[in-house]
Structure formats: structure tokens, C-alpha cells
Amino acid sequence: MMGPNLPRVFIIQGKRTPFGKFGGALGSLKPVELAVIAAQALLKETGVDPETLNQVIFANVIPCTPDTLYAGRHLALKCGLNVRTPGLVVNRLCGSGIEAIIQSARLIRNYEADALLVAGAETLSMAPHLTYGARFGTKYGPLKSQDMLLDTLYDQHAQIAMGLTAENLSQTYNITKQDSDLFSYESHRKANLAYAGNLIQDEIVAVDKCSKDEHLRGDVSLEDMQKLKPTFLKEGTVTAGSASGIVDGACSMIIASEEYVRTHNLKPLAEIIAGEVVGVDPNRMGLGPVPAITELLAKQKLKKQDIDLFEINEAFAPQVLACQKALEIDPSELNIWGGAIALGHPLGATGLKITLTLARQLKYLNKKKGISSACIGGGQGISLLIESV
């Protein structure tokens, strides 16, 4: 993704909504509505003229409303971009947000765009139930109904629930329920500390009276985590507390070329260096970040020690712990402001959110290089290397 003759690509800035708990404050807002709130706040904060943006990429996994199918185009129109500006919707499941960033950088490096509005959103509270047979009827018996939310968390090809893929990793890497409970508690503790230090608030635009991530528990204790029973296996490691939170939310970014940055006198947040996507065994899908990060580093002729911070999406606690063990990441360099176990995982928005958070962490701590990464249902991993500027 990077070469001596290719344009440099920058994240100008990002903004997100709070992540609302399942059925909570944001549950009645459509994905496009959430994305518009985040994007309009971003445009106002940066002073970027929407007429100068020439592409829109929108990440979404479950199109819960008809207009979500039009999301890229509708976001462009609702945010005042030129009527000629095209919009695209991308879906790489939990990697969709990072995929949107990678595709935006590719467009700029191919001289197909100068600056893009990139967003991701999910309203999991609105995930629909599908009814089969309603159009033409059934010869015998009832209509068939399926829950799109539940089925999104189950790989139909491999015939395995996402939580069981995490249990597979806990067995391979000798991760106990105690390890998982502690990691989950730490996710909440780090997020609460980050909020107390006013480190997270600047990336959030309030939605009505909701100004803080609703899934985050301020009163959680390790003992609370330890009391929760395993969800998938009787003697398993994954509980309701050690899985990512089901939430609603959106995140947006402006991504632009070096020439655009210079022409418009902007101060970017970070530079996008390169990304990587790989496939892995669907039964061990949570390990996807390991080869995605390893291959990314190899292609960039870097070592793990060259990376200051990592943000690996917390799909499940044992899944992140397995990646941490395999990559030998120092815990002090991983998800330092908490992760999706504490804050939630709005599928299409997550990759953008963790990359935005990572860029802000690098800036705040005066660090240089960071990698954001996610495992992906069906057996994939995605990673993105950024540098603070």
C-alpha cells in the first residue's frame, strides 16, 4: 500500500457518537442517522468544506433499515457534499471499519480521490428478524423466522458460534476463566480511568442527552466478573462479561492526501502507512489479528518492537489474550484505554473507532507507530499501521 512514488495519506480527524447499550438511548436511531451526527460534528470541528470531499465510504454489517442499503450515498447528501459525490457501502464483518480506511487510502494512492468522508455505523438494537415464505406462502406449516443479530454471530459454513471459536483458542493457549475474567475487568477499569482522565471525551459528540458510552460499568469488580457463568461451554471461559458489548453507534473520519492537507492548511492526526487482510481457519477466527499483524510488519520491514501501541478489537477476552500471547505483546501496550468488552462493538463502526482511539493515544503519549486490528467472522484478520504526525 505504500511506495516512494505514491501519495501520502492522512487521517485528518475523527469523531464518533457514544456507544449506546442494547435497546438503550440510541436504539431508535438508524445507522445513517448516527453516522450523520458523527460526520456533521467532524466537519464542524475541522472546518473542512464538504464540497471538497470527493468520495464517501460507509461501513455497515447488518442493514437494519432500507435506507442503510443507500448509506454511503445518503451520508454524502445529508452532510452537504456535492451532488456528484459517489457513496459506497462496504462489509467485511467486524473488519468493515478498517476495510473502509484501507479502501480510502487505496483510492487516494491510485489518484482516484483527494479526500474522503469515511464512516461506519451499526444499530444492533434494530437488527431485524427475517421471515421466509411471506412473499409466496408455504405449502404446509408456519413461516420461518430468523434473527439477523443472532445469526450474524454464527458461521453457517463452519457451523460454529463465534463464542465457541474463542473457546477453541482458550484451550490451545491455556487461557483460564480466571484469565478471561481478569482481562474483562481490566477493560472496564482502563476505560473508566481514561474517562476520569478526560482522555476519551474529545472523540465523542453527544447524541441528545447521551454523552458517554452506555455499556461501560463504573461499579464493576473482579468478583462480579468471576460470578458470571460460562455461556458456551460448561467449563468454558467466555461469559456475558467477557464478550464484546452489543451496542449502537457510529464513527466518522476525514482521510486525505498530502496535497489536500497542504492546500487546505490542515493539521492531520496520523498518517496511514499500510494495511493487511488475511484468511484463517474459521474455527479459530479470533486468531486473525496474528497473521494480519505479522504479515503487515514483514512487508513493512518492521519488528513488533517498532510498534508502540496496539488496539486489537475485544471480540472476546480469551480471543484477545490468545493474540497477545501469540504476538508476545506487552499488556501495557495493548488497548490501554479499554476496549469493546467495556465500551461495546457496533460492528461496522468498531474498526474506525479503535483506529481513531489509537491515533489519539499516540498523539497524547507522544508515541510514533501503532497498529489497529480485528478478527473477522468466517475466519479472517485485518490490520492497519498508522504513524502519529
Strand 55-59 relative to strand 87-90, pairing: parallel
Q: CA-CA distance, 53 to 82, in Å (whole number)?
A: 8
Q: CA-CA distance, 125 to 247, in Å (whole number)?
A: 7
Question: Which cell goes with 106?
Answer: 487505496
Please state the φ and ψ torsions of residue 59, each to the nearest 5 degrees: -100, 130
Amino acid at 268: P
Q: CA-CA distance, 258 to 287, in Å (whole number)?
A: 34
Are 377 and 285 in contact by the 8 Å Cβ rule? The answer is yes
Sign for the pseudo-dihedral over CA of 219, 223, 228, 230: positive
- Catalytic amino acids? 94, 375
3-state secondary structure of 47: coil
Spatial CA neighbour of 119 closest among 73, 85, 62, 80: 73
